[in-house]
Amino acid sequence: MHKGLLVSDFLRRAVELSPEVEIIYGDKKQTYKETYKRVLRLSNGLLSIGIKKGNVIGVADWNTIKFVELLYAASAIGAVVYPVNIRLPPEQAVQTIRFAGVQWLFLSKDFILLSKQFDTKENIVALDNSDAKWSYEDIITNASSSEPEIKVSGEDPYSILFTSGTTGQPKAVMYTNEKVVQGALSIVYQLGLYDTPAKLSSKDIIMPLIPFYHIWSWGSVFHAPYLGAKYVLSGRFDPQSAVDIMIREKVTWINAVPTMMQMLLAQKESSSLRGMKALVGGMAIPYNMAKAMSDSGIKFSTIYGGTDMLATSISIIPKGFENPESIDYLRATTHPVPFVEVKVVKFDGQEAGNNEMGELHIRSPWLPGGYYKDTEKTQLSYYGEGWFKTGDLALLTVDGGIKIVDRVKDVIKSGGEWIPSSILESIISEVPNTELVAVLGFSDEKWGERPVAVLKAKPGKNILQQDVLNHLKKAVEDGRINKWWIPDRIIFVDEMPLTSTGKVNKLLLREKIQSKGPS
């Protein structure tokens, strides 16, 4: 018995329309019908061991079928699920577990160390063989397969997520069942109803590379059963293994951050990815990466959003667009998904017109309304009648698109003028043998701030500083950047610190550079 929109309804739909379509993980194949039956047993089993509606359960695992089952069982009994960010340092991961109020912790053997710092030792469930008190499979085996007798509403809390913390400590948000459903459907509608390279349909074979802890793999765990599409899970991301699975299972659609795409294209069998459709996001897509995907025959669409706002926009090809194959347009311009409202607010507080730069503000039915247990940060970002300040510098195009220029915190103010670091990063990434680029602003006595470029070369390759400077000077000649945008320093590093979601961690990178001093 329930009212409103529930996450568990996605799986019910799959059973009704596509019961024999499979979810695959390694050698295990499980139909949606079998999965639903296991979810019912799991739901009743969770209730039997003492998990109640409203209890918070944490899940630390890779992308596996058991994780899928837990995401649906939580909705069925009204529990709140926290997909633990397993890429966080262990100490920080434990902090998020405690902040989320996790009462039961589900662990695969790879993360059993988290159990040593978990406050309630009795409430640990082993997803595979271990010495924990509770065994996942035993809970399912001994439970009924009837519908759990518990009333769940679409307005009931469903999941706690944490931001990636690129500029500080991760912030938490809470989403209800209804908001999760609405956010997930907005992506399906944009990819299914509009002209976009990463078109998604029930005929696709979906393989998510984005981990479940990152917005439930951008909602792919809900999209696949809603469409009745085959869903292929790869566990822990490994580029060679991922390519092998794609070839074996004839995968047609993936989601990934640019760093993952880069690793996939570096594999010997990458030619087998020709014709693949990819939804790419999480960070700005450099031009050279977009070109590499296009040259490899991968059709990509760009998604923009975040943990604290879910999906906001996805690149589509507007009607009448003169160059539908323009990779530069598709990588840099996204369009709001259905029911999202956007506006750009200039630094003087006035609303911007087309092609005027300012901070992007959005409003949608699935915004969480604030940060979890953090009134101060909520007041800084959420305001008025449902508006959210994204913290991103953007401009709106005449065709209704959004161009993200930079993070407001990352834009460099030099001599009273703005230098968008993301534009410089994209141009520098075009230099041959470049793997990763970050541009940071550092204090300057004369100009206030000046840009510094940090580069990591591809394995076994070298980049000359003069090559970078020559490329930037050419960009000035072509009118792509202003001369005074050219960085004062160019620094090469062996390793670039990344966040748990694959973005360059500029906070750590800045500390690393400052500790070394001028160069």
The DSSP result for 389-411, as a single string, is EEEEEEEE-TTS-EEEEEETTT-
Q: 445: Cβ–Cβ under 8 A, 6 or more apart, which residues?
A: none
Q: Please tell me the distance from the alpha carbon of residue 277 to that of residue 255, in angstroms, as a whole number.
A: 9
Instruction: Give residue 273's pLDDT.
Output: 94
> Using one digit for the tens of pLDDT, what is the confidence trace for 263-316?
999 999 989 999 999 999 988 888 888 999 999 999 999 999 999 999 999 999
**How much of the chain, in percent, has pLDDT values that exceed 70?**
96
Q: Is the pLDDT of residue 223 over 70?
A: yes
Contact 281, 344 (CB under 8 A): no
Q: Is the pLDDT of residue 352 over 70?
A: yes
Q: Is the pLDDT of residue 166 over 60?
A: no
Average pLDDT over all residues of the chain: 92
Contact 419, 453 (CB under 8 A): no
Question: Does the domain made of 410-516 have the CATH classification 3.30.300.30?
Answer: yes
Contact 287, 258 (CB under 8 A): no
Instruction: Give residue 418's pLDDT.
Output: 79
Q: Is the pLDDT of residue 254 over 50?
A: yes
Instruction: Give residue 323's pLDDT.
Output: 67
Q: Which of 163-177, 241-255, 330-344 has the lowest mean pLDDT?
A: 163-177
Residues 213-235, mean pLDDT to the nearest whole number: 97
Q: Is the pLDDT of residue 194 over 50?
A: yes
Q: Is the pLDDT of residue 228 over 80?
A: yes
Residue environment code for 482-494, b if the CB has 16+ CB neighbours within 10 A, otherwise e: eeebbbeebbebe
- Give the Cβ contact number of residue 7 at 10 Å: 26
Q: Taking the alpha carbons of 492, 495, 497, 500 in that order, is the dihedral positive or negative?
A: positive
> Using one digit for the tens of pLDDT, what is the confidence trace for 392-447?
999 999 999 999 988 887 888 887 777 888 889 989 999 999 999 999 999 888 88
Band of pLDDT at residue 469, cut at 50, 70 and 90: very high
Q: Please tell me the distance from the alpha carbon of residue 75 to that of residue 56, in angstroms, as a whole number.
A: 11
- Give the best-scoring range by mean pLDDT among 133-147, 225-239, 307-321: 225-239
| DSSP string of 34-101, one letter each residue | HHHHHHHHHHHHHHHTT--TT-EEEEE--B-HHHHHHHHHHHHHT-EEEE--TTS-HHHHHHHHHHTT
Q: Please tell me the distance from the alpha carbon of residue 242 to that of residue 272, in angstroms, as a whole number.
A: 12
The four Cα atoms 321, 326, 328, 334 give a dihedral, to 10 degrees, of 40
> Using one digit for the tens of pLDDT, what is the confidence trace for 109-127?
999 888 877 777 789 999 9
Contact 466, 474 (CB under 8 A): no
Q: Which residue has the tokens 């300057």?
A: 444
Instruction: Give residue 172's pLDDT.
Output: 96
- Give the best-scoring range by mean pLDDT among 183-187, 475-479, 498-502: 183-187
Strands 412-414 and 310-314: unpaired
Contact 283, 502 (CB under 8 A): yes
Residue type, 264: L
Give all strands (DSSP E) within 165-220, no chain letters.
Answer: 172-176, 205-208
- List residues bridging with 176 in a β-sheet: 157
Instruction: Give residue 519's pLDDT.
Output: 47
Q: Which residue has the tokens 């973005």?
A: 503
Helix 177-193 with 8-17: angle, nearest 10 deg: 50
Residues 150-162, mean pLDDT to the nearest whole number: 96
Instruction: Give residue 168's pLDDT.
Output: 54
- List residues bridging with 152 in a β-sheet: 2
CATH code, 2-396:
3.40.50.12780
Q: Is the pLDDT of residue 35 over 50?
A: yes
Instruction: Give residue 391's pLDDT.
Output: 92
Q: Please tell me the distance from the alpha carbon of residue 157 to that of residue 480, in angstroms, as a whole number.
A: 47
Q: Please tell me the distance from the alpha carbon of residue 117 to that of residue 98, in angstroms, as a whole number.
A: 10
Residues 210-222, mean pLDDT to the nearest whole number: 97
Q: Please tell me the distance from the alpha carbon of residue 235 to that of residue 245, in angstroms, as a whole number.
A: 11
- Give the best-scoring range by mean pLDDT among 91-100, 151-160, 429-438: 151-160
Band of pLDDT at residue 489, cut at 50, 70 and 90: very high
Residue environment code for 250-282, b if the CB has 16+ CB neighbours within 10 A, otherwise e: ebbbbbbbbbbbbbbbebeebeebeebbbbbbb
Contact 264, 405 (CB under 8 A): no
State residue 27 phi and psi, 5-degree precision. -85, -5
Instruction: Give residue 1's pLDDT.
Output: 46
Q: How far lies 333's CA from each of 193, 194, 245, 285, 389, in Å? A: 18, 15, 31, 11, 19
Band of pLDDT at residue 93, cut at 50, 70 and 90: confident
**How much of the chain, in percent, has pLDDT values that exceed 90?**
75
Q: Residue 422's closest CA among 442, 407, 444, 409? A: 407
For the chain, the domains span 2-396, 410-516
State residue 59 phi and psi, 5-degree precision. -125, 120
- Residues composing the chain: 519
